[in-house]
Structures are given as C-alpha cells and as structure tokens.
Amino acid sequence: MLRARGLVKTYRAPAGPRIPVLDGVDVDVKAGELVVVAGASGSGKSTLLNLLGLLEDADAGDVWFADEHVSALGRSARSGARGRFVGFVFQSFLLLPSLTALDNVVLAARYVGRSGPETRRRARELLEELGVAERHEHYPPQLSGGEQQRVAFCRAVLNDPPLLLADEPTGNLDDANAHVIAEALRRRAAAGGAVVVVTHRPEAFVPATAVFRIENGRLEGYPLKKEVAP
C-alpha cells in the first residue's frame, strides 16, 4: 500500500548550514499493517510522516501509493492522490473552532467533493464508535483534548482512506484517552487499512506489526520487550 525509498530531507538553519534530518529512509507498509516509528523529539518523526503523506517534498527519494509513483506527480496531481489515499491524524487536532464536532468530521468529505445526508450519517456513526456522539453539536473549544482527538480521528477516516498516518496521536492525552485512540488505530489496521504512527510512546501501540526507532536520520529495528504489551 505504501512504499518509500531513499527519502532524504535537510533543513537550512537561519544564517547557518543545512541540517540533515532524514538520510535515505526506506519504508514498506502493507494493507492490514500497523507500523510504529518511535523516536525522541526532533529526531525527524513528523518530517518522515509529512514526506510519506506528500505534505512536504523530499530532497531525494520516491514514494508510491499502491503502484502509483506519487512523488513523481505534479503538485496538483499529488494533492489529488493524497485526497484519494491518505487520512491524517494530527497531534494538534487542527479542528476548525467555528464548526461543530460533526461539521469538522464532514469537512473531510467536502474536500473531496462529497456531501449530503449519507456523509453526515457516516460521520455520526464514527462519532458514536469513538464515544463522542453526544458532543456532535459542540464546538472544539467546548471539548476536552481527548474528545478533540477522537473527533479528529473520525475526520481522518471518514473517506475510508487506504492509508492512515498519525502524528503523535496520543501525545497530548491521558492514559485512558490514549488507549481509545490506540485501539481505534489497531481496529483500522485489522479492517485492512495501512496505518503508520509516529510517537514517543511506542508501548501504547503494542501489539503492532512492526516498531522501529528513528536515529541519526535512519530507521533502525526496535524490538519492544513483551512486558510492555497491554
């Protein structure tokens, strides 16, 4: 479902040299897999996710969604491929404060030209599944952090994307809400989706198909001890 080869990314510090972030990263994620990338703050986790989801351009390397070489497409075509293939769960939620929880979820469908009663029905079903249906008429400032993250998850999966990318989805949550989100991501993979999570809390997502650590710009094998599994 997702394949990346040789991803390289550097940033230029103000009035300084270029700073290497990723140095030839390869990634393979199949349908039905949950892949976790762990690492310290500043290690390049979010940068990697942005490259995989075509939110940023790599300095070098290639990305495929299914058999489509999406990193070789023009900007408009990449945006279209991202809309067809990818759902994002952001650490900072990125909910619009002027829209209700329900309308924030429905917004994902509007971005790809869908709307109507069926879309709203599906959005309500997702909110029910994540335990926030009773908050559907509330605005983001009226929701707790855990509730906002669950609404953001519903938005990410509304269009049933084959690939789900989650950036520190439990980073701002207490243990109970972190468990809810981790279970929702596992269910997504179990239902046939390809899921990539970057996090500094890899133990929250065990069991997973694979867990790696990002160090010095590369992905390294990172087997977790069985004792941390829930």
What is the C-alpha to C-alpha distance for residues 157 and 176, in angstroms, rounded to an integer? 21
Range of the domain at 19: 2-223
Give the mean model confidence (pLDDT) for residues 202-225. Answer: 85
Q: How far apart are CA 33 and CA 26, in angstroms?
A: 16
Q: Which two tokens stand for residue 27?
A: 């990634």
Q: Which of the four pLDDT bands, split at 50, 70 and 90, describes residue 223?
A: low
- Domain count of the fold of the chain: 1
Give percent above pLDDT 70 in the chain.
96
Task: Report the pLDDT value the prediction gives residue 226, as an integer from 0 to 100.
Answer: 40
Flag whether pLDDT at 230 surpasses 60: no
Q: Which pair of structure tokens corresponds to residue 155? A: 């938005």
Out of 15-24, 86-95, 161-170, pick the least confident. 15-24
Q: Is residue 136 predicted with pLDDT exceeding 80?
A: yes
Peptide bond into 223 cis (omega under 30): no
Q: Quote the CA–CA distance of 97 and 76 in Å, as a whole number.
A: 28
Please write the tens of the pLDDT for every residue from 164-208: 999 999 887 888 888 999 999 999 999 999 999 999 888 889 889
Res 135: pLDDT = 95
Q: Which residue has the higher pLDDT, 207 or 141?
A: 141
Domain presence at residue 44:
yes
**Residue 27: inside a domain:** yes
Give the CA distances from residue 226 to residues 175, 213, 216, 221, in Å, rounded to whole numbers and listed in that order: 19, 17, 26, 15
pLDDT over threshold 90, residue 141: yes
- Give yes or no for a contact between 154 and 140, defined as CB atoms under 8 angstroms apart: no
Q: Is the residue at 163 inside a domain? A: yes
Report, as an integer, the average pLDDT of 95-114.
90
Report the Cα 135 to chain-centroid distance in Å.
Answer: 23
Confidence check: pLDDT of 229 > 50: no
Q: What is the DSSP letter of 173?
A: S
Bridge partners of 62? 5
Other C-beta atoms lying within 10 Å of the C-beta of residue 98: 9
Q: Has residue 27 got a pLDDT over 80?
A: yes
Q: Is residue 229 part of a domain?
A: no
Which pLDDT value is given to residue 210? 92
Asked whether residue 127 is assigned to any structural domain, the reply reads: yes
Between the CA of residue 154 and those of 37, 60, 126, 132, 178, what are the distances in Å? 22, 33, 6, 10, 15
Model confidence over 67-88: pLDDT tens digits?
Answer: 899 999 999 999 889 988 999 9
Tell whether 139 is covered by a domain. Answer: yes
Whether residue 230 is contained in a domain is answered as no
Which has the closest alpha carbon to 132: 142, 189, 204, 197?
142
pLDDT confidence of residue 224? 57
Location of structure tokens 């559907």: 136
Are the C-beta atoms of 18 and 12 separated by less than 8 Å?
yes
Q: Highest-confidence range of 106-110, 135-139, 216-220, by mean pLDDT?
A: 135-139
How does DSSP classify residue 224?
Answer: P
Query: Can you give the CATH number for the domain in which 173 is found?
Result: 3.40.50.300
Residue 228 resides in a domain? no
